[in-house]
Chains A and B, each alone.
Chain A
Amino acid sequence: MTGRVVRRSREHRSRRRAGRAGGQGLRCTAAVALLLAVVLTACQSSSGNAQDKKLPAASVNQVDPATLADGGTLRWGINELPAQWNPHHANGNLATVQTVMGALLPSPWRTGSDADSAPDPDYVEDVDVRTDPRQVVTLRLNPKARWSNGDPITWRDYAAMAEALSGRDPEFQVAGQTGYDRISSVRAGRDRFEVVVAFSKPFADYASLFRLLLPAAYTEDAERFNSGYLDRIPVTAGPFGSAKFDRTAKSIAVARSADWWGDRARLDRIVFRAMAPEALEAAFLDGGVDLAPLPVDSAAAKRVDKAADGEVRAARAPDFRHLTLNGESPLLSDVDVRHAVFLGVNRRAVAESAFSGLDWRPEPTDHHFLLPGQDGYTDNSGKWGAYDPEKAREVLEGAGWRAAGDGEPRRKGGKELRLRFTIPQGFAPAQSEAELVQSMLAEIGVAVRIDSVPRDALFADHILPGDYDMVALVSNGSGFPVSQFLQQWSTPLKAENGDEQWRANVGRIGSPAIDAAMDEALGSLDPEAALASINDADRLLWDTGHTLPLYQRPELVATRTGLANVGAPGFADIDYAAIGYPRGG
């Protein structure tokens, strides 16, 4: 679930849930439910020392699976029942698909809560990496591993998937090609259970590849790649299998695989059940689901915690919120103005406001690639990270922006220093965040106008065309930070007509030096050297005033008390076979 993979950001998911017409009503539903809950639990005592606990990297109630009960059903609340279950298809690149398919498909590597990856012995016995003369990764496959149709998992499955995802055949509707475009060949080693992957360019994030492997029969042919897993899950190879859909209830049930060769799964069955986010909490409280993602909302967390058989697992989500500045907007194209904004925003105050009401201390972040706790995480912000309105004023003066008296924005050559902060309509946390930034920047003589736009227009009409000054977004971190952020921080592609295509780099700032540092990191198989290059790139991003990281977000999950080895996993991949209930419970 981490990996190179490309999770649709949470913001984006919620964006999909609440559209132009429906959004108001649904938010109204949530507000009413909240109001009622507040009224009905009016006499509950308020918890005293808020924001005193540090959020852990993961909260999954880790227990030795051997001590858990054998059997049981887990009803797992999800937000949607997608149609496309091929996680590598452009339509299947969804968090829900990753959650479900993680129980059903092989991944040669598994990521831990420290974001480091290790081979998963259920599928891969040994990994050998050579770099001379070119990078070659050799996987020794577990010969016991089989697809649900009885075929063994062999090098052919790897070869066919590498070819499909390389982007060489445009008929394959792939979600992305990062990494696969650097593979020159995949062939058999001494037998069919040895996979030799040769790279044309070094690729340090090789452990992000081949996750959620599909059988060759579904990756050799574009038609089967595009529609073989459409509304069905024909072949699996995991601790769970035989997926059964109930499209009326929008649920999908997977059963413990009888022919699983690894440690026997503790649960008999997992039923993934889709509901609107507003209904999921009620479903958890009435026993309809045993596990449900919660909104970052102190009231919801308290209601779940109060339930007799429920608890909230909270961890640092593997993502961070940041303030993106448009480097091509008329006023922010000046790096000094961007740096003044960096200095003028009190990031700690923004983070504390976002965590208000929660019992956990916010975690401000200083990095464009790594999250606190990840190997190599350092503060590269230099002069631009600390809140210093006095210095911000100096920077603006130095750039020729003269103070124009009390409450008035600074001026330069007849222009006023007025910026737009574009936010999605009807999302209260974004509104209060923008107001906070507005009041902070007013202190340094920068006027901010808050532009709230319809949610589905935010990306299409404002961010992607570059019609904005400031916007707050969420980016997913990962154990493969360079693969993850490569497009977000690189210089634009040149289109055939000469236009610059910034694509994922919505801040529209880039430099050959940043590109080179990221390329260096991506090609460096020595972890120390790679981290040094990542930090070089991060330092350059701070220096050029590209995107102000704000804070790492919390992830809250409601679970049944005692349910083990699942919850808020942070960076970690869930071991579905280990999920279970305590004995005698």
Chain B
Amino acid sequence: MKGLIGKKLGMTQVYDKNGTLNPVTVIEAGPCKVTALRTAEKDGYSAIQIAYGTRKIKNVTKAVRGHVKAAGLEDTPPQFIREVRLDEDPTAAVGETLTAGIFADSEYVDVVGISKGKGFQGVVKRHHFAGGLASHGGGWIRRGGSNGMKARPGRVIKGHRMAGHMGVDRVTVQNLQVVQVRNEENLIFIRGSVPGPIGATVMVCAARKK
């Protein structure tokens, strides 16, 4: 297991060597510095903590600057710090730099991002309700129907699907294929779409279920 934090640059199409056209999302992944290690013995689980981007020193607390000091990022504090869970204890050292080259062509990855905000949405878009008939005297087109029973239980059951805010959720897309890696430009081409708008921060990890 391995992972990188990156930025979604947008989508395009690339031809592979057989001439097949692939829709790809281009992600500028890394370089990320390892800021901490988690081991099963000490922390109860295995992970590496990686940092990406930069912030102004005046915008960062001293605690954060102190935390990333071991990785040599005291004067260029990172914008994002995330942990990537590993199956075994990490072999990387604190301060090591991870680049897009840790992924290879045709490898499978999971991508975690924050989905685009959709605002307040009805049940048809938000929960895929069918809605009513458009014709034959419909008159009940995109509504949710009954919210539940009457006197017993006399309330709406928790978790009942209704209209409300949609989007801006943490979304993971699993088993996307890497089409191309350009290590010197820090670019990863991933087949298909990934959550979030252009410019959004995403995390690319090795696929869990492959």
Q: Do A and B interact? A: no
Chain B residues proximal to chain A, CB less than 8 Å = none
